[in-house]
Amino acid sequence: MKVVIQRVSKASVTIEGKKVASIENGLLILLGIVNEDAQDDINWLSNKIGNLRIFEDENGVMNKSLLDAQGDAVVVSQFTLHASTKKGNRPSYIKAAKPDVAIPLYESFVKQLEKDLGKKVQTGQFGTDMKVELLNDGPVTIIIDSKNRL
């Protein structure tokens, strides 16, 4: 499981002209899933995201977590995070999990993140063409892969 997290002043997701998610001061989380991902990846990643100290404290030092900052989160499915660009110029997405595997893991990730944060997490819609807008704060952008945790 791979995520790109971006600290944002605001972020939103629009589908077919309708805004389905909108946050201020928090994290936009782009989530990519592969077939090998499991609940332990979800648990580890959710805990890491909630506790990662990337928000500024009163001294301007990145010393607060999303939990400390009481920020919000929006999760967007992003199969292209697992693109392979080794051969040719057209990316291959063969590593990305198919919907029958990815959807339950995506939904489980959102539920686990809600549990860890103690609040509702907004989402895009899996497998849909989405327009994602954000104002990256910092900018702070971090990539985390649950397979690289050991």
Please tell me which residue in 6, 78, 112, 122 is annotated as part of the active site. 78
Name the pTM for this structure. 0.95
Please tell me which residue in 55, 79, 109, 126 is annotated as part of the active site. 79
Please tell me which residue in 14, 39, 70, 80 is annotated as part of the active site. 80
> Which amino acid appears at position 40 of this protein?
D
Joined tokens for residue 74:
């929006």
| pLDDT 10s digits, 133-147 | 999 999 999 999 999
DSSP secondary-structure letter at 97?
P
Report how far residue 34's alpha carbon sits from residue 148's, in angstroms, rounded to the nearest whole number: 14
| Surface-to-core class of residue 18, CB atoms within 10 Å of its CB (0-12 exposed, 13-18 middle, 19+ buried) | exposed
Cβ within 8 Å of residue 44, ≥6 positions away: 146, 149
79 noted as active-site residue: yes
6 noted as active-site residue: no
Structural domains in the chain, sorted by start: 2-148 (3.50.80.10)
| pLDDT 10s digits, 95-138 | 999 999 999 999 999 999 999 999 999 999 999 999 999 999 99
